[in-house]
Amino acid sequence: MSSFFLKGKPRTVGTKRKYDKTKPTKKETKLQNRKEKAQAESEEEIDSDQEEELTAASTSKQFNFDDEDEGIVETAQDKRLRLAKKYLKEVEEAERSRREDDEIHDSVSAVLREDYLESVGKLYREVADQYQGYSLDKATTLKFKQQHLAPTCACLTEDDKFLYVANKNGIIVRWDLEKKERLASTKAQRTAVLSLAVSYDLKFLVVADGTNEIKVLDGSTLNAVDSLSGHSDVVTGVVFRRNTHQLYSCSKDRTVKIWSLDEMLYVETLYGHQTPVTSIDALARERAITSGGNDHSIRIWKIVEESQLVYSCPPTVDSIECVRLIGDEHFITCATDGSLSVWSSGKKKPLNTVQLAHGKTANGEANWISSIAALLNTDVIASGSCDGFVRIWKLVGAGKKIEPLMEIPVEGFVNALKFTSDGERLIICVGQEHRLGRWWTLKQAKNRTIVVPLIMTVKEGSRKKK
C-alpha cells in the first residue's frame, strides 16, 4: 500500500518568509533609475529661454512616473487657468472677427451707397481743396504724324485705359494711355470729325463725321460696322447713355434723336430747339441735355416722361456752344461771349456766371470758350479757349459760386478737355485752329494731345473710382 504523503524535506508549519527592508524592490529600483535619468537630462546645458520655459513648466506641473507610461499631469488649478486663457483667446478672436466683419460691412455699405447716389445723380464730393497743382514736366504728348491738322474732339473709356482722338482731316486714333502707344487709326476723310462716343464695353465707337450720317465703328479695331441715317443736316454731337447701347444724337436740323445700337435702329425724335443744336450730354438716367446755340436755351429731355425742361439764358448771352453735366442735379455751359455758367436742374436761371472767363483778344473781343469739362459728381470743372491757359475752377457752396483754382499754360486753341475718372489727369486737345472753323490761326501752337498729371493730396477715407 503506497503512502498517501510524498517524500521530501519536512515543511515547517507557521513560518513566514522574511524580506530585507533595506534592499529596494524592483519597482523602486525602476522608479529611481527614471528619476536619475530625468535629473541627468535636466542638468545638460540649455540657453536662457529654455531654462525659463522649463522653470515655468516645473512650477505648474509635476512628473508622474509609473510602470506603464510617463507624461505631464497638470493640477486642477493649472487646468482652470489653461481653460480660462483658452476661453479668453476664443473671445478675442471672435471679437476681432466681428470687428473685421463690421469694417467690411461698413465699407461695402459706403460703396453701395455711393454707387446708388451716383446712379440717381445725387452723389456730390468736394475734392477741389485736394488739388495742389500740376506737373507739366511729367506730361505726356500724344501725336500721330498723319493726324497733322488740329484735333477737334476726344472721348475716354470709363476705365481710363483708352483714349480716342479725332481731328480736322477726319483721322481717328485709338491710344493706350498706360503704355502711351497708338493701337489703331482710320484713314483721312474730307470732313472734320465733330464728336465721338464710345460704349462702355468698347463694342461701338460712334462718329459724327461732319455729315448727316452717324458712323458706327468697332471700338477696338476701328473697322466700320454700320451707319445710322435719319438726320437731315450735319450731326453735331453724339453720346451714349452710360452702361447701355442707347445712343443720343443732335444735329443742325434742330432735333435730338434716340437710337438703339443693339439692333442698329432709330427709336425716336425729340423736337423743341429753334436753331441748330450745338452740344449734347447724358449720364446713367434715361435723360439727355442739349444746348440750342442761338436760341439761348438749354433743354433736359425726360425721355420716359416724354417731357422737357427748358432753361433760358438772358438775351445778352451769345450762342451757347457747349453743355456738360456735373451730375443729374448740376451742369455747366459756355458761350461765344466768353461766359461760363453753372446751373441747377431745379432752377431756371444760372446759379453763377463768370463773364469773360478767358479774357479778351487784342482787339477787345471776348475769347470764345471752345471747350469745357467736369469731374463727374464733384466741385471741379475746367474750361479752355485760345488765351494760352486751361483754367480749372472750383464750385463753392454746391455750385453757387465759381472760383479759380489753377491755370495750366497751353499754347493754342483748346478744342477738347477730359478729366480721368479719378481726377488725377487732365487730357487737353490743342491745335492751331478752332475746331469749327478757320477764323484765325495760332502758328506758334502745335497740333497735339497732352495728358497732364494733376497733383492731389488724398484725404483719409476717400474713395478713388476706377
The CA R_g of the chain, rounded to the nearest whole Å, is 41
Q: How many CB atoms lie within 10 A of CB 119?
A: 15
465: its cell numbers: 473710382
Query: Which whole number is the average pLDDT over 44-62?
Result: 46
pLDDT digits (tens, 9 = 90+) for 417-446: 999 999 999 999 999 999 998 888 999 999
pLDDT tier for residue 314 given thresholds of 50, 70 and 90: confident
pLDDT tier for residue 91 given thresholds of 50, 70 and 90: confident
The answer to whether residue 80 scores a pLDDT higher than 70 is: yes
pLDDT cut 70: percent of the chain above it? 79
Query: Which whole number is the average pLDDT over 220-234?
Result: 97
pLDDT at 65: 39
pLDDT at 102: 73
pLDDT at 133: 95
pLDDT tier for residue 97 given thresholds of 50, 70 and 90: confident
pLDDT at 98: 82
Tell me how far apart the alpha carbons of residues 322 and 372 are, in angstroms, rounded to a whole number. 7
pLDDT tier for residue 24 given thresholds of 50, 70 and 90: low
pLDDT at 55: 47
Range in 15-24, 314-323, 405-414 the model is least confident about:
15-24
Residues 6+ apart with CB under 8 A from 142: 163, 165, 173, 175, 180, 182, 448, 449, 450, 451
Tell me how far apart the alpha carbons of residues 404 and 407 are, in angstroms, rounded to a whole number. 8
22: its cell numbers: 533595506
pLDDT at 15: 46
Terminal CA-to-CA distance of the chain, rounded, Å?
A: 120
pLDDT at 94: 86
pLDDT at 117: 57
pLDDT tier for residue 299 given thresholds of 50, 70 and 90: very high
pLDDT digits (tens, 9 = 90+) for 330-387: 999 999 999 999 999 999 999 999 999 999 988 889 999 999 999 999 999 999 999 9
Closest CA to 340 of 369, 361, 366, 319: 369
pLDDT tier for residue 278 given thresholds of 50, 70 and 90: very high
The answer to whether residue 33 scores a pLDDT higher than 80 is: no
Tell me how far apart the alpha carbons of residues 437 and 428 are, in angstroms, rounded to a whole number. 19
What residue ranges do the domains of the chain occupy?
84-119, 128-456
Query: Which whole number is the average pLDDT over 100-126?
Result: 67
Instruction: Give the per-residue SS3 of the chain.
Output: CCCCCCCCCCCCCCCCCCCCCCCCCHHHHHHHHHHHHHHHHHCCCCCHHHHHHHHHHHHHEEEEECCCCEEEEECHHHHHHHHHHHHHHHHHHHHHHHHHHHHHHHHHHHHHHHHHHHHCCCCCECCHHHEEEECCCCCEEECCCCCCCCEEEEEECCCCCEEEEEECCCCEEEEECCCCEEEEECCCCCCCCCEEEECCCCCEEEEECCCCEEEEEECCCCCEEEEEECCCCCEEEEEECCCCCEEEEEECCCEEEEEECCCCEEEEEEECCCCCCCEEECCCCCEEEEECECCCEEEEEECCCCEEEEEECCCCCCCEEEEEECCCCEEEEEECCCCEEEEECCCCCCCEEECCCCCECCCCCECCCCEEEECCCECEEEEECCCCEEEEEEEECCCCEEEEEEEEECCCEEEEEEECCCCCEEEEEEECCCCCCCCCCCCCCCCEEEEEEEEECCCCCCCCCC
pLDDT at 238: 98
pLDDT cut 90: percent of the chain above it? 66
Side-chain-facing half-sphere of 64: CA atoms under 13 Å:
8
* Cell 461765344 found at: 336
What integer best gives the mean pLDDT of the chain?
85
The answer to whether residue 393 scores a pLDDT higher than 50 is: yes
The larger pLDDT score, comparing residue 418 to residue 8, is at 418
pLDDT at 434: 93
Q: How far is CA 317 from the centre of its chain?
A: 37
pLDDT digits (tens, 9 = 90+) for 141-166: 999 999 999 999 999 999 999 999 99
* Cell 451742369 found at: 331
Tell me how far apart the alpha carbons of residues 162 and 147 are, in angstroms, rounded to a whole number. 18
CB 217 within 8 A of CB 224: yes
pLDDT at 88: 86
The larger pLDDT score, comparing residue 116 to residue 374, is at 374
pLDDT at 112: 64
Class assignment of domain 128-456?
A: mainly beta
User: What's the predicted TM-score (pTM) here?
Assistant: 0.75
